Structure 1
């Protein structure tokens, strides 16, 4: 099956907001082996919506539309699609009661007519009830095509996709099973990784597909198998993933579909290890990535964002003589920052960063993009200097990933020492 995703909204076209909905929807459809034929953003006008639907139904079996279902006059989606499907709008009593209940909770005594209109749905549509918002979704099955019209608010759209749309789509293709295996790799670029496993990939059966999903510092491998026998799919796919994992060795950090931060949090929590950070050029980004993971409180002690030299001295105990001799952006300084954070926060490990993120502040000796990172562990402290050439935001992200990678490598090294 093929799908097309259409986002409606002038705010997307003029750059006020970024369309993150489409990427998320595509990720949810992939495990169902539904490929994306096209993704497009259009204005909230009858002409644009009609043309987009006409073109989409020529290319795709599943058409998912987000946005344009609000109660204001500039949202014309519902009236347009009613005309498109030659039907009318009717007021759904269950949706109306839900909207009224939300207004009552907020203490409003009178609900405007414009909000009552959110309960208006196409007469031929299946109502996709929205438990977390006011605007319901609508699904239409016609001439072998499945259409879903959803609100554009991300958390509402996600709820409806997960609880309403995906069950519908699974029903439409019950004869096929889809099985996914995952490997998370760190420290290998996509092209180098592909060369290392080229022979394994070439030997895979046709019903197994390998997707490379690169991100700064890591590559996610997803093995997807589709067929009628689930046990055969699992066995064949897991065998391939096992072979790749054996080939890549220590570069494989997880066999689940997790982020690197989730892997670190889970592993450290399971081993009762504690982490802290001391950040200058990354400005707290490392601690933000870690604490965004549920369960981080079991392993994360604290963070110090020490931008100035004085803060490095006062908070972490960095020696003034070290700063004078080597400067803030130097390995001797980040080593003392990491050791200081480990002591201050009573942690087992600590990551420290200091660098010149840009766009200004560089010198011939210390150019923009120079970043020093140190990681203090249970038995030793390691440091390294990196030279990046991207803009400020990318430099910060690369430095963050460098710190996490160095942390993981030192952790693995010290775990190996314990086993000897």
Structure 2
């Protein structure tokens, strides 16, 4: 089944509020084989709401709408949809008592009359009772399309979706099954990757689509198959996954939707090896990306953020001569930093970073964006100098990505040696 999401609110259009509701809904619809075909954000205007509802009903069998259900004059959704569905507005006494109880619970002596409007619903709608907020949701069916209206407050929307909406969707008999397969690659750019598998992509049948989902340092491929025979879709998708995997040997990290860091934590834990970091320009971002993963304590021993040269000397025992001769941003220094981290934290692997993150501090010899990364393993070591951009945030993100890529490559080589 196809769904469309409509979010209502001028605050979404002017950037005051970021729409996180749509992503959450799409993620929870997918397991029910409900595919989101479009997400639309519109203003609190009668014409915009009517046009969006009409267009969405032509594209999808399910239309999910959030926002615009408040009691103030700028929330016009309720009045607009009453006209659109030709349904009178009535006051739901059960909802009204719930709203009054909420005001009393939070210590208000009386409830402003304007809040009584929260209990107003369309007469032709199924009321989706909102235990955690004042605005109820509404479920309306017309011409084979289901319209669901919910408040825009994220925790209220999520409650209604989990408790009232998703269970009803689960009872639908899905006419179309969607199966996703994933391939996570590192160390190869999107355009090079596409060129290498162009012939495989050209041979995909119409019901299997290939999507490229790039991030800094990696590209995730997603194969999406749609049809009525789930077992057939899985078999045929697996065939193409195998072809792509064979073609991209050496760049494949995993075959699921997990993040790269999750896979690193899992594989290091399975191998019984440990990791530490010594960071300068990244300020702990490499270690933070690893320790954000549950279970990282099984393979991550510690980190040192040695920003100043004195910290590099005192904590990691980087030689004064190395710093004087080559400078803090050098392959020689990051190699000694990695050696120090491996020794101090008693690990099998260590990553070290040092660079000119910017936007200032660069020189002709060492411009902004120059970053050195070293990785030491059980048997080998790698060190590389990168030249990134003038953007500090992007430089740090790229350094983290390249550090993890170098770590993975060295780890993969050493696993084959054992």
Q: Deviations over 1:154-202 (max 9, x none)?
A: 4554555466545545555523222221111111112211222222222
Q: Work out whether residues 118 and 136 of structure 2, in 8 Å CA contact, stay in contact via their aligned partners in 1.
A: yes
1:162/1:180 CA distance change after superposition, 3 Å: farther
Q: Who is 2:35 aligned against? A: 34
**CA contact 2:208–2:224 (8 Å) conserved in 1:** yes
Q: Number of aligned residue pairs: give it.
A: 415
Counterpart-to-counterpart distance in 2, 1:164 and 1:183: 34
TM-fit CA distance, 1:352: 1.5
Tell me whether 322-331 or 204-213 shows the greater mean CA deviation: 204-213
TM-score, normalized by length of structure 2?
0.87
Aligned: 1:413 with 2:413: yes
User: Which residue of 2 is the match for residue 197 of structure 1?
Assistant: 197
**Residue 369 of structure 2: aligned partner:** 369
> What is the CA distance between 1:48 and its match in structure 2?
3.5
Q: How does 1:148-227 map to 2 (within 5 A)?
A: 148-158=148-158, 160-161=160-161, 164-169=164-169, 171-172=171-172, 174-227=174-227
Q: Work out the CA distance in 1 between the residues paired with 2:299 and 2:45.
A: 51
- Cα deviation, 1:80-118, whole Å, max 9, x if unaligned, reads 3334322324437379659947974xx647574566765
Q: Where in structure 2 are there 5+ consecutive unaligned residues?
A: none
**Which stretch shifts more, 355-364 or 163-172?**
163-172
Per mean C-alpha deviation after superposition, the further-off stretch among 290-299 and 65-74 is 65-74
Q: CA contact under 8 A between 1:79 and 1:89: conserved in structure 2?
A: no
Q: Report how far residue 300 of structure 1 moved.
A: 2.1
- 1:207–1:269 CA distance, 2 compared to 1 (3 A): same
The farther-off stretch of 406-415 and 175-184 is 175-184
CA–CA distance in structure 2, aligned partners of residues 92 and 250 of structure 1: 64
Contact 1:210 1:221 (8 Å CA) reproduced: yes
Distance, in Å, in 2 between the alignment partners of 1:18 and 1:153 is: 12
Could you tell me how far 1:58 is from its partner in structure 2? 4.2
State how 1:14-413 maps to structure 2 within 5 Å: 14-26=14-26, 32=33, 34-37=35-38, 39-70=39-70, 74-85=74-85, 86-91=87-92, 93=94, 97=98, 100=101, 104=105, 108=107, 112-113=111-112, 118=118, 120-128=120-128, 135-158=135-158, 160-161=160-161, 164-169=164-169, 171-172=171-172, 174-389=174-389, 391-413=391-413
Deviations 1:219-245 (A, max 9, x none): 111112222222211111112211211
Contact 2:328 2:354 in 1 (8 A): yes
Q: CA deviation at 1:130?
A: 5.2
Distance in 2 (alpha carbons) for counterparts of 1:135 and 1:286: 43
* Contact 2:66 2:152 survives alignment (8 Å): yes
**Relative to 1, partners in 2 of residues 1:159 and 1:409: Cα closer, same or farther, differing over 3 Å?**
farther
Give distance in 1, aligned partners of 2:354 and 2:169: 49
SS at structure 2 position matched to 1:205: coil
Are the counterparts in 1 of residues 103 and 110 from structure 2 also a CA contact under 8 Å?
A: no
CA distance in 1, matches of 2:18, 2:27: 17
- 2:373 is paired with a residue whose SS is strand
Further displaced range: 114-123 or 48-57 = 114-123
The alpha carbon displacement at 1:247 in A equals 1.7
Say if 1:95 and 1:129, in contact at 8 Å, map to a contact too: no
Q: What displacement does 1:365 show? A: 0.9
1: distance between equivalents of 2:374 and 2:152?
A: 43
Larger deviation: 40-49 or 234-243? 40-49
Worse-matched range after superposition: 203-212 or 85-94: 85-94
CA distance in 2, matches of 1:48, 1:24: 24
State the TM-score, normalizing by the size of structure 1: 0.87
Q: Give the SS at the match of 1:249.
A: coil
Give the conservation status (yes or no) of the 8 Å contact 1:318–1:337. yes
Using the TM superposition, give the Cα deviation of residue 331 of structure 1 relative to its aligned residue in structure 2, in angstroms: 1.0
Please state how far the C-alpha of 1:415 moved relative to its aligned partner.
0.8
**SS class of match (1:152):** coil
**Structure-2 change in CA distance of 1:150 and 1:310 (3 Å):** farther
Return 5+ residue gaps in structure 1 as ranges: none
Counterpart Cα distance in 2 of 1:304 and 1:130: 48
